[in-house]
Structure 1
Amino acid sequence: MLTKKRYSVKDMVLWTRGETLIYLLYAGIITVLYKVFGFTFLNVPWTPVALIGTAVAFLVGFQNNSAYGRIWEARMIWGAIVNTSRTWGMKVQDMVTNEHREVPVSNDEIRQHKKTLVYRHIAWMTALRYAMRQRKSWETQHKAKTNQEWRDMIHIPEEVSTLEDNLIMYLSEEERQYVLSKGNKQTALLYLQSKHIRELKEKGLIWEFAFLELENVLESLFTHQGKSERIKNFPYPRQYASLGLYLTRVFTILLPFGLIPEFAEIGDTMVDDFFLVGKYFIWIAVPFCAIVSWAFHTMERLARTGENPFEGGPNDVPISTISRGIEIDLRQMLDEEVNDIPSQFPEEKHVQM
């Protein structure tokens, strides 16, 4: 299941409108001081400014590549969870039978065991996505004003309801209390799954080879869980992120001092042939400085928003949508009534949660 996100130039401009206005105002002030008040000493040679810009471009490019790598790895992990979850549902359906039991049990009991194993798996996915949405100290992008505006317009499922309320639908009260008492709730659920299939093996409802196959699926789920937790619990190295932020700010501060004199010089050479154009050519430096500063700032900010792919931003992996999609598939395989199966989380602002 792929994310569906559509952004226009308007959305990007609105997202960075505060910084854009600051860059315009800042460049305008420097231009007024240089042109109107004659502060021509506000001049920095273009070469060092260009060298800083080159360093910023390399660093921000590296940061963007690393952030994208974290997002892509997270997407691959949750794609693997989709496949392994469907495998679990298929094997539970076909391997829990009376075939190797001397005294067959009722079909209702067989169906109940299958339902319990599938529902407990849905509970595992639910616990995992709630764990991925828990706020870490280094996840601070939600504090930005424009990011807060976006979060006020959408509803992240993990912030609307609690894990405790969701587990009621999938676990018995005894199991729910047991899981909630553990620090790593998703691990506790996989332990319960292993215990359950071992009991089924001892009862003859699962034969030896089937038991090993189901244990292998649980092992794969543990692997996917560990990979997802690794990304969540290991932040992007702050030395790279902080250096990129500081150098970007230094570059945007120095940029007008390097560009405005250049535009003034170009304007002076045009006065003889194109008087009005040459006279006011320096003012073109204001939007030009703002555009260049905006480009560098936006690239750096995109890198920061992509560092934590489970934080709940519009560019993050839609783990809630993925989990609900798996739940729908598994419950349909159980032949449940359509009205009993929950619907998919709706897209909000063309973004999947």
Structure 2
Amino acid sequence: MYTQKIYSARQLAQWTRYETMVFTAIITVWVAIFYFLDLKWFKIPWTPLALIGTAVAFVIGFQNNSAYGRIWEARKIWGGIVNTSRTFGMFVQDMLTNEHAKKPVAEAELLLEIKTLTYRHIAWMTALRHAMRAPKSWETTSNHRTNREWGMLPPEMESTLEEDMKPYISKNELKKIMGKDNKQTALLYEQSHHLRKLKERGMIWEFSFLELEAILQELFTLQGQSERIKNFPYPRQYATLNHFFMWVFVLLLPLALVPQFAEIGAALESSPAWVKDLFVWFSIPFYVIVAWIFHTMERIGRTGENPFEGTSNDVPISTIARGIEIDLRQNLGEPDDEIPKQFPAKRNTQF
């Protein structure tokens, strides 16, 4: 645990190092101007700056709460997909039987129908996670320099949807699905049509058919909730203005902080003259700490606005979907060497 904390602290320092250098440059310039040009009159009182800082802190807190709410809702939605998927896999295996079949089929054909329905569900999860990773104009976190330089991309950015769905559905169905705008919706329609045909053949009892259709309805609901978060951005009037307010505070802070340290140095009666003279330079580390805290908190809020963008702080939908696939295929009785492995973590990060 201690090692993990050190690693996380190092990652955080690396993640914000460019801003830290900017803050260091800003305060160094301010202190140099104040010290060498003797601009002791150039200052503002703490009261208005404290009011600005308080307002910025409230807005940042509101943004972080809202962003965390979006992340947590997204995680609950995909947690629902996990549970519903497992239920679907169980229902399909136990509800497809020859008990009510008009014309009993061979066990091999029965198993093939179960596999087809299960694989189509995996294709649905594949289409959904690809749709959630599709870039939007308001998703800019992944374009930040520190995110680009780490080179950590989600699996959806390294392959195409068509390639990822090929193992799970037939060529004709794949061609049909790829012609639709909302491919995940089209797959659930295909799933429902397939269940209806099985019911008409008597391979699914009518009550079982209703239960399976209810599962599809729940999947539609979870899909719609996931799409709502993806397609409705965090309101720009909050995100953009909050960013500007933070920078206004950070740029005005030296006007109060630097003179304050100069006054403290002048009041050090028992200290040597050179300490009094140079004490103003101690404002540099204190300013960097305060500015870094405000900026980092604001950036954390911005990072959490889009939980499906594909950055290291987002909901790991690729890992979740692959985990469900492994569960479903293992319960179909497939050998381990035919089941894909879980997506590897990159820098202790799941996608």
1:294-347 per-residue CA deviation (whole Å, 9 max, x = no partner) reads: 110001111011000000111100000000000000001100111100000001
Q: Structure 2 residue aligned with 1:254, among 232, 252, 255?
A: 252
Which residue does the alignment assign to 1:214?
Answer: 212
Residue aligning to 1:284: 282
The superposition leaves residues 281-304 of structure 1 with CA deviations (integer Å, 9 ceiling, x where unpaired) of 211101111110111000111101
Q: 1: distance between equivalents of 2:157 and 2:75? A: 21
Percent pairwise identity: 58
1:190 to 174, 179, 188: 188
What does residue 30 of structure 1 align with? Answer: 30
Q: Determine the structure 2 residue equivalent to 1:302.
A: 300
Kept in 2, the 8 Å contact 1:122–1:327? The answer is yes
C-alpha displacement at 1:275, in angstroms? 4.1
Which secondary structure does the structure 2 equivalent of 1:8 belong to? helix
Comparing 31-40 with 88-97, which one deviates more in the overlay?
A: 31-40
Residue 73 of structure 1 is matched in structure 2 by: 73
Q: How much does 1:279 deviate?
A: 2.9
Opposite residue 298 of structure 1, the aligned amino acid is: T
Tell me which amino acid in the other structure corresponds to 1:97.
Answer: T
Which string of whole-angstrom CA distances, capped at 9 and with x for unpartnered residues, describes residues 249-295 of structure 1? 00000001110101111111104445444332211101111110111
Matches within 5 A, 1:325-344: 325-344=323-342
The answer to whether the 8 A contact 1:264-1:281 is kept is yes
Task: Tell me, in whole angstroms, the C-alpha distance in 2 between the residues paired with 1:281 and 1:33.
Answer: 15
Is the CA contact 1:99–1:205 (under 8 Å) kept in the aligned structure 2?
A: yes
**How much has 1:6 moved relative to structure 2?**
8.7
Aligned-partner residue type, residue 75 of structure 1: R
For structure 1, which segment, 80-89 or 280-289, has the greater mean C-alpha deviation from structure 2 after superposition?
A: 280-289
Asked whether the 8 Å contact 2:102–2:201 carries over to 1, the reply is no
- Whichever residue aligns with residue 33 of structure 1, its letter is I
Contact persistence 2:129–2:318 (CA under 8 A): yes
Match of 2:313, as an amino acid?
A: N
| Structure 1 CA distance for aligned equivalents of residues 233 and 263 of structure 2 | 47
Q: 1:283 to 1:271 in 2, by over 3 A?
A: farther
Q: 1:311 aligns with which of 309, 312, 321?
A: 309
- Shift in Å, 1:38: 0.5
Q: CA deviation at 1:102?
A: 4.0
SS of the residue 2:267 aligns to: helix
Contact 1:179 1:188 in 2 (8 A): yes
Contact 1:120–1:171 (8 Å) recurs in 2: yes
Structure 1 CA distance for aligned equivalents of residues 6 and 114 of structure 2? 40
Contact 1:98 1:204 (8 Å CA) reproduced: yes
Q: Is the 8 A contact 1:271 1:279 kept in 2?
A: no
Report the Cα distance in structure 1 between the residues aligned to 2:116 and 2:42, rounded to whole angstroms: 73
The residue type paired with residue 100 of structure 2 is: H
Verify: 1:114 aligned to 2:114, yes or no: yes
Q: Which runs of 5+ in 2 are unaligned?
A: none
Q: Which moved more, 1:129-138 or 1:43-52?
A: 43-52
User: Which residue number corresponds to residue 126 of structure 1?
Assistant: 126
* Residue 14 of structure 1, CA deviation: 1.0
Q: 1:84 to 1:51 in 2, by over 3 A?
A: same
Q: Which amino acid aligns with 1:131?
A: A
**CA–CA distance in 1 between the matches of 2:177 and 2:94?**
27
- Structure-1 separation of matches of 2:318 and 2:326: 12
Length-normalised TM-score, structure 1: 0.96
Does the 8 A contact of 1:5 with 1:351 survive in 2?
no
Q: Is the CA contact (8 Å cut-off) linking 1:271 and 1:277 kept in structure 2? A: no
Mapped contact 1:71–1:316 kept (Cα < 8 A): yes
One-letter identity of the residue aligned with 1:130: H
CA-CA distance at 1:5 after TM superposition: 10
Gaps of 5+ in 1: none
- Kindly indicate whether the alpha-carbon contact (under 8 Å) linking 1:33 and 1:39 is maintained by their aligned counterparts in 2: yes
Asked whether the 8 Å contact 2:92–2:114 carries over to 1, the reply is: yes
Shift of 1:167: 1.0
Q: Distance in 2 between matches of 1:33 and 1:5?
A: 39
Distance in 1 between residues matched to 2:130 and 2:277, nearest whole Å: 61
Following superposition of structure 1 onto structure 2, how do residues 172-187 of structure 1 map, counting pairs within 5 Å? Answer: 172-187=170-185
The offset of 1:119, in angstroms, is 0.1
Match of 1:238 in 2: 236
